[in-house]
């Protein structure tokens, strides 16, 4: 995925107490207005898979002008967490970034 602008994360991503959302503040460090899709992933072990797999659990689009910053709130798929627990698995760590590529992800 190509970003419309360079998004610089300002603070550590923050997972909500209810485990249903993650917040992150970012800044458009570029010279043009643009948008970026902020994506959340969770390490999920389902069924017979004992190794957690990174699974997309939410996303939101951020539009910013040059130098602007804003907080993005990504709602997490809590049904996936319930499904993992019901199957004896676990929904583990949450990561946020602009793609699933490991060098784009930040641990929450």
Q: Where are the domains of the chain?
A: 7-98
Euclidean distance between CA atoms 38 and 34, whole angstroms: 13
In this structure, the number of other CB atoms found within 10 A of the CB of residue 61 comes to 9
- Report pLDDT digits (tens) over 65-76: 998 989 899 998
CATH of 7-98, one of 2.60.40.10, 3.40.140.10, 3.40.50.11540, 2.60.120.260: 2.60.40.10
- Report pLDDT digits (tens) over 24-37: 888 888 888 888 89
In this structure, the number of other CB atoms found within 10 A of the CB of residue 47 comes to 10
- Report pLDDT digits (tens) over 76-90: 888 876 776 676 666
The secondary structure of 22-49 as a DSSP string is EEEEEEE-SSS-EEEEEEEEEEEE-TT-
Percent of the residues in the chain that have a pLDDT greater than 90, as a whole number = 15
DSSP element (H, E) containing 14 = strand 14-15
| pTM, full prediction | 0.77
Biggest CA-to-CA distance, the chain? 49
């Amino acid at each position: 995925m190509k970003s419309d602008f360079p998004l610089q994360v300002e603070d550590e991503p923050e997972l909500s107490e209810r485990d249903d959302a993650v917040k992150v503040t970012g800044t458009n460090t570029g010279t043009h207005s643009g948008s970026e899709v902020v994506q959340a992933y969770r390490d999920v072990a389902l069924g017979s898979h004992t190794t957690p797999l990174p699974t997309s659990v939410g996303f939101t689009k951020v539009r910013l002008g040059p130098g602007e910053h804003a907080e993005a709130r990504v709602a997490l798929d809590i049904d996936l967490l319930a499904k993992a627990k019901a199957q004896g698995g676990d929904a583990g760590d949450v990561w946020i970034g602009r793609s699933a590529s490991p060098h784009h992800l930040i641990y929450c």
